[in-house]
Structure 1
Amino acid sequence: MIYLKKILLILILISTGNVHAKEVKVAVASNFYKPMLQLAKQFSDTTGNKVVVSAGATGALYAQIKNGAPFDLFLAADQKRPIALENENKAVLGSRFTYAQGQLAFWSKQPGYTNKQSFIDAISHVEHIAIANPKNAPYGAASIDVMNKLGVYKQTQPKIVEGHNIGQTFQYISSETVDCGFVALSQVYLNGKISEGSAWLVPSTLHRELKQDAILLQQGEKNPVAQSFLTFLQSEPAKRTIRSFGYLI
């Protein structure tokens, strides 16, 4: 509670211009890149401070942070890596929280991919199915969960094309280099519906939870803008934006 009060005070000071405009460097999981850009604009418009965004696979960003990459905040696609950074003294204890829970979708730019059966049918008639690298990207690991739960992983494996992260996976499908595949719902969701093509919203019972944690890194501990942005992420305006991209809060 004392920590949150301190951060709220910092946010007030920044928004009223008592400190010079500065910046915060944020490492963000690829699935959250689009909402992050919108949130960064909202924050900058309110405070005058700049949010510098670097997106990538959660595992790859974690490795960069461990090796000294100059980030203030880490918005992961899982809880595992932020917890590991806490244990490794690379992040500030007490600053971690779940900012969103993601949803997995099986998506194509073509019509007809709207349910489990359409995914099963795709296995036999499409040439390739895209997923994110399951070692680095939680959404990729969740995709493997789905195939294992449905008993089709062995059958599907020869057709799998892996993107380095969920952003690259989306590009494979969006460019129609690959027929279809598993993406984050946030990448294909706009104004309460699928923005293009068709998608099956995969039931969460078929895969691990996609709870996504944010954490203040050691570099950001002395950066009031970093602490302020974390507080902003927990505000109602930020939560409305996050929900608008298909995330659960």
Structure 2
Amino acid sequence: MPPTTLRWLPALCIALVSVPALAEDVQVAVAANFTGPMKRIAADFEKDTGHKAVLTFGATGKFYAQISNGAPFEVFLAADDETPARLEKEGAAVNGSRFTYATGKLVLWSAQPGMVDAQGEVLKKGDFKKIAIAAPKLAPYGAAAIEAMTKLGLQAALEPKLVQGESIGQAFSFVSTGNAELGFIALSQVYEGGKIKSGSAWMVPESLHSPIRQDAVLLAKGKDSKAAVQLMAFLKTDKARAVIRSFGYEP
């Protein structure tokens, strides 16, 4: 081997060793309704930056309690805009980092084809035993479901039939497994290729509930993390926005 090549070997070895060291893991708390799109976004993020987003999915209210008690999350993608704002106010999140990454849509869905009609009249007929929702105190989609039923004048009639899941993911599980004939879930859970991929559904008019604005925020534990800061920026890219839109959200 020529002497000039030998002189370069130490520097080359140092460079090769340091490349993986530049990549970091970022701990991300993600609202359960955003499971599908966030898995795809995380894969794209790792491919483009080398950083790995370690994802934990669950109910927004439960994440709030965990973050307030010191959970090691660095980025939080909530199912509402109020919880991230509260964390900012309480000093658990970086001021000015919060933004709306998606606007969610509520849908009444059944795994059974033909069970839910296009106008949601099935709710008035009441020809079912159980209807699933996410716990309204923990999950904004559950709160939106209660709001919609109340505006329709059906809350009292449907109350005895309600089964609550801790998160929108659990509410979806109740319906998909047949433990409830229908339920209020996030459109993203049953939407693919521009249409409902299975069962039957009614798109709940947005006039029946408050907008489901979903905010992301950089948490205090992630303020010095390059991976956390880059993930927040990546969520605003055209690539991430295309994924978000493909699941039925409005970016």
TM-score (norm 1): 0.91
CA RMSD of aligned residues (A): 1.2
Query: d(CA) in 1 for partners of 2:154 and 2:35?
Result: 30
Query: d(CA) in 2 for partners of 1:121 and 1:148?
Result: 12
Query: d(CA) in 2 for partners of 1:207 and 1:213?
Result: 18
Q: Once the 2 structures are TM-superposed, how far is the Cα of residue 118 of structure 1 from its aligned partner? A: 3.1
Q: Which among 94, 97, 117 is matched to residue 95 of structure 1?
A: 97
Query: d(CA) in 2 for partners of 1:160 and 1:184?
Result: 17
Map of 1:72-151 to 2, 5 A cutoff? Answer: 72-112=74-114, 113-121=116-124, 124-151=126-153
Q: Please, which runs of 5 or more residues in structure 2 have no aligned partner?
A: 1-18
Q: Which among 180, 184, 187 is matched to residue 185 of structure 1?
A: 187
Is 2:38 the partner of 1:36?
yes
Q: Which residue of 2 aligns with 1:217?
A: 219
Change beyond 3 A, Cα 1:93–1:117: closer
Q: Which among 160, 169, 172 is matched to residue 170 of structure 1?
A: 172
The superposition leaves residues 133-181 of structure 1 with CA deviations (integer Å, 9 ceiling, x where unpaired) of 0000000000001100000000000000000100000001011111000
Query: d(CA) in 2 for partners of 1:46 and 1:183?
Result: 32
1:32 match: secondary structure: helix
Q: Once the 2 structures are TM-superposed, how far is the Cα of residue 34 of structure 1 from its aligned partner? A: 1.1
Structure 2 counterpart of 1:93, which letter? Answer: N
> Is this contact kept in 1: 2:120–2:202, CA < 8 A?
no
> Is this contact kept in 2: 1:77–1:211, CA < 8 A?
yes
2:22 match: secondary structure: coil
1:213 match: secondary structure: strand
Structure 2 counterpart of 1:222, which letter? Answer: D
Structure 1 counterpart of 2:108, which letter? Answer: F
Change beyond 3 A, Cα 1:117–1:100: closer
Q: Once the 2 structures are TM-superposed, how far is the Cα of residue 19 of structure 1 from its aligned partner? A: 5.9
Query: d(CA) in 2 for partners of 1:18 and 1:108?
Result: 46
> Is this contact kept in 2: 1:99–1:212, CA < 8 A?
yes
Query: d(CA) in 2 for partners of 1:156 and 1:217?
Result: 39
Query: d(CA) in 1 for partners of 2:90 and 2:119?
Result: 41
Q: Once the 2 structures are TM-superposed, how far is the Cα of residue 39 of structure 1 from its aligned partner? A: 0.4
TM-score (norm 2): 0.90
Q: Once the 2 structures are TM-superposed, how far is the Cα of residue 237 of structure 1 from its aligned partner? A: 0.6
Q: Which residue of 2 aligns with 1:242?
A: 244
Q: Once the 2 structures are TM-superposed, how far is the Cα of residue 18 of structure 1 from its aligned partner? A: 9.1
Query: d(CA) in 2 for partners of 1:169 and 1:239?
Result: 26
Q: Please, which runs of 5 or more residues in structure 1 have no aligned partner?
A: 1-16
Q: Which residue of 1 aligns with 2:67?
A: 65
Identity %: 50
The superposition leaves residues 165-198 of structure 1 with CA deviations (integer Å, 9 ceiling, x where unpaired) of 0000000101111100000000000010001101
Structure 2 counterpart of 1:116, which letter? Answer: Q
